Amino acid sequence: MTKITMKTPIVELDGDEMTRILWAKIKEKLILPFVDLKSIYYDLGLPNREETKDAVTVEAAEAIKKYGVGVKCATITPNASRVKEYNLSQMWKSPNGTIRSRLDGTVFRAPIMVKGLKVLMPTWTQPIVIARHAYGDVYSGVEGYVPDGGAVVLKFPDGTEKTVFDFKGPGIVQAMHNTDKSITSFARSCMNYALDVKKDLWFNAKDTISKIYDHRFKDIFNEIYEKEYKERFEKAGITYFYTLIDDAVSRIMKSNGGMIWACKNYDGDVMSDMVATVFGSLAMMTSVLVSPDGKYEYEAAHGTVTRHYYKYLQGEQTSTNPIATIYAWTGALRKRGELDGLKELSDFADRLEKACLDTITDGIMTKDLLPNYEGEGKAVTSDEFLDAIVAHIAK
């Protein structure tokens, strides 16, 4: 069989734990037999981030900016216990946060809907797309512990100061930021995407409490919509809607879905997991980071599946869902095909996704999906599931 050729390489970012194991198997079974893969490889596994003092993450982000398309495996963002487990010199920052900051992108996450898998929220008959602002806020925040009390003061460039809090004893403090430029890019990305897919755009924040920080998000979105997009939205028959985040959650829970739900960074992180779970599993969600200048990074929206990894190390077979990771690869291959005019490559991505869905529809799936399957399903190991997908590709 002649393999599909590529012109431009994809930037490949390897990761950690069980997803790293699946990453290699997906390439071995689903991609390399069919595609003459060109990729520029970066090992973002935690040991290599420690060895390179996290320089590898920065290098990978710059490579995506150069080549235009990247695909990323899930990675560990270390906490105190991980620092001890991996004997780290410091608590390295989130690789996703670093890459998103350098690309200044928006993360769009959408559920992978499969015939036969029931939706836990019966009213949600249409997919909800989460648009997550991928810059700043808590993910690039500065924080510290105040052991003995005292005043923590925020000093502005014009010399003015604001007291954050005057501690009378031990406590914690955090400072975070965002920029008009990034918020503007976020707003335009969301509105352009809404026009592309012809879906209503909802945005939420908490401007009644955060009267400067969150209010700035609200104001920029409104200004850009009124000046640049209002007429285009009306012509397309779609709407832009702003409300407080608690009201948005209440409305969406009672809705039929079908909207793009734009969220600030942390809100989008949380809500995307909720939406994915309702539609089947955390492993049933696509995720793509899109920069304002048209660079793309595809990834799985879930973590490294640590519990399964420890079982794997003990020699046990696991039933770990690889769908989101497969879709990260198909998304990157399809986009690379579109950009390079390689229809055969894009068509292969479509064929691989169809094989995944057909496998589940036929009742073969990983253990996490079985409780939501409406029919006679069979839970299989990850290897057996990948083999079943291969068989469907051949059909």
> What b/e readout covers 49-79, taking b as 16+ CB neighbours within 10 angstroms?
bbeeebebbeebbebbbebbbbbbbbbbbbe
Instruction: Tell me if domain 1-111+281-395 and domain 120-141+176-278 are identical in fold.
Output: yes
Confidence label for 91 from pLDDT (cuts 50, 70 and 90): very high
Residue with tokens 């923590």: 152
- DSSP letter for 333, please: H
pLDDT digits (tens, 9 = 90+) for 20-63: 999 999 999 999 999 999 999 999 999 999 999 999 999 999 99
pLDDT at 395 over 80: no
pLDDT single digits (tens) 359-387: 999 999 999 999 889 888 999 999 999 99
pLDDT in tens, 240-264: 999 999 999 999 999 999 999 999 9
CATH C-level class of 1-111+281-395 = alpha beta
Query: pLDDT confidence of 197, banded at 50, 70, 90?
Result: confident
- Going by C-beta distance under 8 Å and a sequence separation of 6 or more, which residues neighbour residue 172? 143, 144, 145, 146
CA angle 291, 236, 262 (to 5 degrees): 40
pTM assigned to the model: 0.85
Give me the pLDDT at residue 292, please: 80
Please state the domain extents for the chain: 1-111+281-395, 120-141+176-278
Which CATH code fits 120-141+176-278? 3.40.718.10
> Nearest CA to 171 among 155, 188, 147, 192?
147
Q: What are phi and psi of 343, to 5 degrees?
A: -60, -35
Q: Given this model, what pLDDT does residue 277 score? A: 83
